[in-house]
């Protein structure tokens, strides 16, 4: 229902804004502003996207939770789509999504309403849930003891694995 409402209201708002701004400053300045915001928005999305990608790669390297950098990247991508869409209303939303404080507020708003059921990284799985007494998280994990394994011998006699002589 909300998506249908957005598809109906956004074009109506854009048309009304085009009429108002065009009547106030004229046709050519209005069109110049639309083209200028698309060019400026593309440049900003490119630079912000590089920073978001760097933060995402850093979170992977540090084995941190990549949720926040992924959310910021998705919001920057949405901002780019909105800035390339001709209109003043979509440009205002797009430029606001390029501001890190706005993205943080949107991320906090959305993360308060989303519950993670499972997070998987590599071969093992970790589940997080609230403890029965409501204090803190209980983390279940799987592990495998690798210290007790002996190196295997291949038919050639060479030792396989990191424990080579």
Segment 55-80, tens digit of pLDDT: 888 888 887 778 888 888 899 999 98
Task: List, edge to edge, every strand of the sheet that includes 137-141.
Answer: 119-121, 124-130, 137-141
DSSP E strand stretches across the chain: 119-121, 124-130, 137-141
The answer on pLDDT for 146 being more than 80 is no
pLDDT recorded at residue 149: 60
More confident residue, 125 or 92: 92
Helix (H) or strand (E) holding 3: helix 2-25
* pTM of the predicted model as reported, rounded to 2 decimal places: 0.64
Whose tokens are 């797009």? That residue is: 94
pLDDT recorded at residue 110: 87
pLDDT recorded at residue 92: 93
Convert 45-87 into a string of H (helix), E (strand) and C (coil): HHHHHHHHHHHHHHHHHCCCCCHHHHHHHHHHHHHHHHHHCCC
**Residues with Cβ < 8 Å from 14, sequence gap 6 or more?**
86, 87, 88, 89, 90
The token duo for 102 is 């706005």
The answer on pLDDT for 165 being more than 50 is no
The answer on pLDDT for 158 being more than 90 is no
pLDDT recorded at residue 125: 47
């Amino acid at each position: 229902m909300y998506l249908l409402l957005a598809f109906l209201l956004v074009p109506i708002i854009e048309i009304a804004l085009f009429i108002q701004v065009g009547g106030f400053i004229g046709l050519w300045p209005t069109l110049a502003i639309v083209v200028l915001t698309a060019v400026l928005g593309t440049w900003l999305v490119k630079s912000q996207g590089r920073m978001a990608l760097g933060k995402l790669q850093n979170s992977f390297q540090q084995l941190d939770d990549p949720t926040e950098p992924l959310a910021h990247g998705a919001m920057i991508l949405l901002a780019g789509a909105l800035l390339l869409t001709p209109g003043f209303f979509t440009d205002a939303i797009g430029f606001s999504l390029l501001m890190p404080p706005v993205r943080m507020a949107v991320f906090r708003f959305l993360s308060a309403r989303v519950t993670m059921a499972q997070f998987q990284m590599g071969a093992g799985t970790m589940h997080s849930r609230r403890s029965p007494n409501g204090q803190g998280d209980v983390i279940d994990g799987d592990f495998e003891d690798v210290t007790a394994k002996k190196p295997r011998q291949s038919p050639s006699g060479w030792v396989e694995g990191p424990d080579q002589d």
